Chain A
Amino acid sequence: MTAALGQSARSVLACGEVRTCLLPSFQALDGRAAAQLLRLRADEHVRVSERPTMYALSPEVLTGVDCRLPTSNGSKVRAVGTVIARAALTEGRLLQSTAYFSAPAAGPDTRRPWGQYLVRPGLVEPFGKLPQQATVEGVLRGAGRGELDLGTIAEGLLTQLRRHALLDRRVPFKSRPTHLRWVARRQPEGERASLTNFTVAEGGLRTMELRLPEDVPAAAAAGLCEDLALHDWLLTTVQQMLDNSRIGAADGPSVVEALHPVVVHLLHLWMPRAHVDAALGHLWDVLEEKPGFSRQWEKLSRRIRDRLALQAVTMPHQAFSPR
């Protein structure tokens, strides 16, 4: 049975994956260079805002897909449509890419002409009924071989950007990329968006579950998740740098060497919800409550400043002339 176009376009689910890493460039990019880097399409501009932090967002690019959905219960559901990918650069320093799509409750049993998918960018239709819960779990767990893999699309975009001729491919310090997978179940218009789950898993993986009113576009959810992923990356990375047991040891880097990059490149990047859609900004409150993102950041920043200050008192010479 073929559902009517308009009806089937109404999505019940949005899913995405964000990847966050340090831009492989020794100097942070300025607004112009950022716009050049993120110019994924000739026909659309990169959005650059300078305040409160410098933030550049690429135009969206589409990837056509025709494959199985990732499902947790092994049900094999073919799906066809397009996945949206986009990239963002914050303060010319932190690079992110997101791949996301929306899915309706059901789709036609046969493949439509390709043009019909293209007019609804970011929509992936299942053949028949969407196994909603199994798809949610499948996306969060990660795609198997032959399944729609948002991670692959997001990583592919990152890889493409990392190769850009603008970049000198040097990093001011080593760091680990993270990825955040998210799903948003749709709820009736007018209800308040909510964050129902946030987990920190092994291997730099985070997962997040949301409820999203019908009138809030999936792109806004993607933006929120990028913002959370960025701040989570900051927390994780700075924590790791502080935990390096060899700081100050005979064969390790000096305190200044190890922590200077944090002060120069990272401390000023903390700016929650700066670029989040107004309808979703309040979801930050949940994470501020527990685990208390900003409180953690405050604590880390203080520890870093204290260690550097202590260093300056005990070894003033070294503190002011980092190697």
Chain B
Amino acid sequence: MLIFAASDKGGTGRSVTSANLAYHRALAGDDVCYLDFDFGSPTAVAVFDVADAREAAEDRGLHAYLIGEVSEPERIDVWAKTEHQVLRDPPPGCGRLVLMPGDVSGGEFATTDDNLRRCVDLLMKLYHEFDLVIVDLSAGRSYAVDMALEATAQPEMSELTARWLVFHRWTRQHVAAAASLVFGRRGIVAGGVHRGHDEEALRGAIRFVRAAVPDPESPLWSQVSPTQSAWMRKTDGDLKQLASTAGIGYSQVLGSVPLEPVLQWREQLITDEDVLDSQIANQETWTALSRLAARLTDDKYWEEA
């Protein structure tokens, strides 16, 4: 399966969350490939802790591949190359976890026929090799998003299952922005239809993910005053109403990830060690990520509305 991760703005939690989803699926036994198509600000190398491997790979990343400078993008075997101690010892039975990094020097670029061709070739090849291919796309209606829409609209890609996750934070502006990224006049759906996607099918393949959602009931806020607490509950309720009105209500949400202090401080994978042994991360975060990871391929959550 192909999963595209999009968001209207930067800083939504798209990259960090989707990397954690890749990690969870690999732990569960899937062979997973994570592609950093966030050409403006590639971050996956930091999240997976593979800076040295990236260094060794020079500029042979996805950007160089798509513009035809190298014949194959670099692959980094995360379990083998990570500098993160816990990740170096994956449990028996886990699947492969491969990162295809972006390029340090790569910026955005236009979708030419040749670039598109190479993109299709790559996605197809990886689809036949991995159980799950997760593609992190630059924020907004970027070239990366256009390329993903264009690539998946090609007739030879029609056999592939592709799904879209749209990440947003839990604020008024982010909710409105996410809705317009998908349903707006220049949104993903309109752009997809323009490129030949079937509207129904494309809509059915898009779900939203609410990232870094503060839970008014969380112990994090146990010290706030009753007035503050009441305000938070009210605002949370208003946001739910707003999301629903904007067409990204409950039925369109694949899941949410709670505000996690560790991620607030540092872009990283949350391991079971962080949750169980050192207990620096919250159990709820782990559970939410794990549930979200399972839903990626659970058709129940993807039935067309």
The interface of chain A, by Cβ under 8 A from chain B, is 21-22, 24, 145, 149, 151-152, 155-156, 159, 162-163, 168-171, 174-177, 202-203, 244-246, 251-252
Contact = CB atoms under 8 A, between A and B. Distances in A.
Nearest to A160: B121
Nearest to B297: A251
Given A155-B72, A176-B129, A203-B77, A170 B159 contact: yes
A24 B124 CA distance: 9
Given A156-B71, A202-B80, A245-B29, 10 more contacts: A145-B69, A163-B121, A169-B156, A170-B159, A174-B128, A175-B129, A203-B75, A203-B77, A244-B29, A251-B28
A158 to B, nearest CB: 9
A159 B121 contact: yes
A24 B29 CA distance: 23
A306 B29 CA distance: 23
B79 to A, nearest CB: 11
Given A145-B60, A162-B121, A202-B80, A175 B128 contact: yes
Contacts, number: 55
Interface residues of B, number: 25
Contacts of B156: 163, 169
B297 to A, nearest CB: 10
A252 B30 CA distance: 10
B129 A174 contact: yes
B131 interface: yes
A177 B124 contact: no
A201 to B, nearest CB: 12
A3 B294 CA distance: 66
Nearest to A155: B71
Main secondary structure of the interface of B (DSSP, over half): loop
Given A145-B60, A202-B77, A245-B29, A152 B129 contact: no
A23 to B, nearest CB: 10
B71 A149 contact: yes
B70 interface: yes
Nearest to B117: A163
A169 B71 contact: no
Contacts of B71: 149, 151-152, 155-156
A287 B29 CA distance: 31
Main secondary structure of the interface of A (DSSP, over half): loop
13 contacts: A21-B128, A145-B60, A155-B72, A156-B71, A168-B159, A169-B156, A175-B128, A175-B129, A177-B125, A245-B29, A245-B92, A246-B29, A246-B93
A24 B128 contact: yes
A258 to B, nearest CB: 11
A174 B130 contact: yes
Given A155-B71, A245-B92, A162 B125 contact: yes
Nearest to B160: A169
List 4 tightest A-B contacts by C-beta distance, closest first: A245-B93, A152-B71, A246-B29, A171-B128
Contacts of A244: 29
Contacts of A162: 121, 124-125
Given A174-B129, A175-B129, A177-B129, A252 B80 contact: no
Contacts of B128: 21-22, 24, 171, 174-175
A177 B31 CA distance: 14
A161 to B, nearest CB: 11
Nearest to B93: A245
Contacts of A22: 128
| Best-buried of B71, B94, B294 by chain A (most CB within 10 Å) | B71
A151 B73 CA distance: 12
B272 to A, nearest CB: 17
A122 B60 CA distance: 28
A147 to B, nearest CB: 12
Nearest to B128: A171
A169 B77 contact: no
| Best-buried of B71, B80, B124, B128 by chain A (most CB within 10 Å) | B128
Contacts of A24: 124, 128
